[in-house]
Chains A and B, each alone.
Chain A
Amino acid sequence: MSKTLTKQKNKSSLVVKTLIYIFLSFLAVIYILPLLWVIFVSVKDDKTLFVSPWAMPERLMIENYTFAWTAGKLGTATLNSAIVCVVTLVLCLLIGSMAAFAIGRLRWKFANVMMTYFLTGMMIPVHCILIPLFTRFAKMGLTNSLLGLILPYLTLSLPLTIFIMTGFFQGMPNELFESACIDGCSIYKIFTHIAFPLSKTGLFVTGLMTFVANWNELLLAMVFISDDTKKTLPVSLSKFVGPYNTNYSQMFAAIVIAIIPTIVVYCCFSNSIVDGLTQGAVKG
């Protein structure tokens, strides 16, 4: 009796599992197809793109890539983007989680006020601060330098970091902190030795989100940087958009090149999130 029951249960769970996998695979196709198409377009030439957008290219146009790389100066651009985004990322995670720790864990009157203050930062449309910020930075000689990009990127990333990290710190068990306190830890040590390392998944998620946002940011970079040797990747991608027509194939080639670093970073980060999953969590 009980045997048949488990058998039935196994059977039904097998059906459910299969259904789940079918559903997930179907979604995966919706996700992959358009992205494959980007790669597909990047090896076509502009002419056949409009005649037969879905047909296989007659010949792989690898020169789209070489042209994109040299004419778009993508090497320098990638380096600039990397410098800006990595510096921003490191500073943002450090400064952001410090503030989040103070807001989420320390006890003071204005914690909520401070949180609201930072939160408004996420709501500010970047278009609104563009001209005031540019004018200010121009007076300080900060335009046309990577530092002039790092500062606004860092600041614009802070609210999100603080917002998410506060949630993580608040979600940590009280006992952890209490026991550390009994051991005679200072508040700084609690932060650096307990709270910070334990919020690893949170750091990875926010780090990924801010890195990606900054990596793709166009408007500020376009307005703040004039010097060709200091341009970032998104600005370089837009080089292929002409006043009357766009070099689609070459631009898509450039897009593919620009995507690769994000995917590398993404794989490093996302697997760490999975580590977190397997360490602590649900067993399926």
Chain B
Amino acid sequence: MDKLLRDKKAIILFVAPAFLLFTFVLFIPICQSIYYSLCDYNALTKPVFIGLENYRQLFTADKTMRIAFKNSLFFLVFSVVTQLIVGLILAALLTNIKKGRNFFKNIYYLPCVLSSAALGLLWMFIFTPKLGINQVLAQFGIEGPLWLMDTKGFIILPMWVIASVSLWQYVGQSMMLYMAQISGISTSLYEASYIDGCTKVQAFRYITLPLIRPMMATAMSLNAIGSLKFFDLIFNMTEGGPNHQTEVLATHLYQQGFKYFKYGYASAIGTVLLVLCLIVTFIINKFVKMENYEM
């Protein structure tokens, strides 16, 4: 058995295609991009090496970067926590009902399969004061707030709105991952527990949760990375406005790179984003995964 699993030829054969593709299409370009982050480069002229100047500016002089950083961290915490809780609750509820399980699951997952650009546009419409829910609220005599333009407070209202929309869109994904993993748990485990007098809640707490822990780490890492790289919804709902108040790292990167042609500077933001993702994934895997459970 062990010998079989240490077959070098097989390992190489299995990994090589992915490795080669990955190296050529992603790794080399990102190395190039990291080099650009040390340059003054606008994609139209040759890059000029300027050392760490881009990073110095990024961390000391760029006010938008500070806002983007704050918003990205807020987003990260919000989506990791809410997606975990809501995703687990939905998965647990749906695996425990028979009638309509398919129906509800399909509906909750539906927004995941739609383009976030289109959905961003849709929600932008809905939160536009002239057209959207404020008109509905006005029917009840309530004056709705400026959902996407209010700039008061530390975490401003638009960020909460966008974060909620992203929860709406992506929680189906977490739910699906948990459901898929729960489906792998043997029925006999539950049957045994019921014979021992466990309630369903207890069974969930002592059987399901520990067994899907690896998937929790996976789903949380996915959420964390996804929320740090989050772009489409924000870009289509607010474009980072008003006055950069809803900017996150990815939108700031886009604006700098593609609106103002500061490609070197944008690459520096990209590098920061990459490092941040690495750190967060490391932390999640360190504290959530711990060990692999055998089923």
Please report the number of residue pairs spanning A and B whose Cβ atoms sit closer than 8 angstroms: 285
B side interface size, CB within 8 A: 105
| Shortest beta-carbon distance from B239 to chain A in Å | 13
**Stretch in contact with the other chain, from B49-57, B58-66, B154-162, B265-273:** B265-273
What is the minimal beta-carbon distance from B43 to any residue of chain A, in angstroms? 5
Q: Which of B2, B122, B263 is close to A34, meaning CB atoms less than 8 Å apart? A: B122
**Among A38, A103, A173, contact of B295 (Cβ-Cβ < 8 Å):** A173
Say yes or no: is B88 at the interface (Cβ < 8 Å to chain A). no
Query: Does residue A105 face the partner (Cβ distance < 8 Å to B)?
Result: yes
Question: 1/0 per position for B216-232, CB-CB distance to A under 8 A?
Answer: 00100110010011000
Q: Are A31 and B253 in contact (CB under 8 A)?
A: no
Binary contact track A24-52/B, C-beta < 8 Å → 1, others 0? 10011011101101100100000000100
Which residues of B sit under 8 angstroms from A202, Cβ to Cβ? 180
19 residue pairs bridging A and B, Cβ less than 8 Å apart: A28-B108, A34-B123, A54-B136, A108-B11, A121-B26, A123-B277, A124-B270, A127-B270, A128-B30, A155-B22, A167-B214, A218-B115, A218-B117, A270-B106, A274-B101, A281-B95, A281-B182, A282-B95, A282-B185
Residues on A facing B (Cβ under 8 Å): 17, 20-21, 23-24, 27-28, 30-32, 34-35, 37-38, 41, 50, 53-54, 95-96, 98-99, 101-103, 105-108, 114, 117-125, 127-129, 131-133, 136, 151-152, 154-156, 158-160, 162-164, 167-168, 170-174, 177-178, 181, 186-188, 190-191, 201-202, 204-205, 208-209, 212, 215-216, 218, 234, 237, 255, 258-259, 262-263, 265-267, 270-271, 273-274, 276-277, 279-284
Is the Cβ of A95 less than 8 Å from the Cβ of B21?
A: yes
For residue B206, CB closer than 8 A to chain A, the reply is: no
Cα–Cα distance between A213 and B158 once the two chains are bound (Å): 25
Q: Does B144 contact A (CB under 8 A)?
A: no
Q: Does B102 contact A (CB under 8 A)?
A: yes
In the assembly, what is the distance between CA of A259 and CA of B112, in Å? Answer: 11
Residue in A24, A117, A173, A282 whose beta carbon sits within 8 Å of that of B190 in the complex:
A282
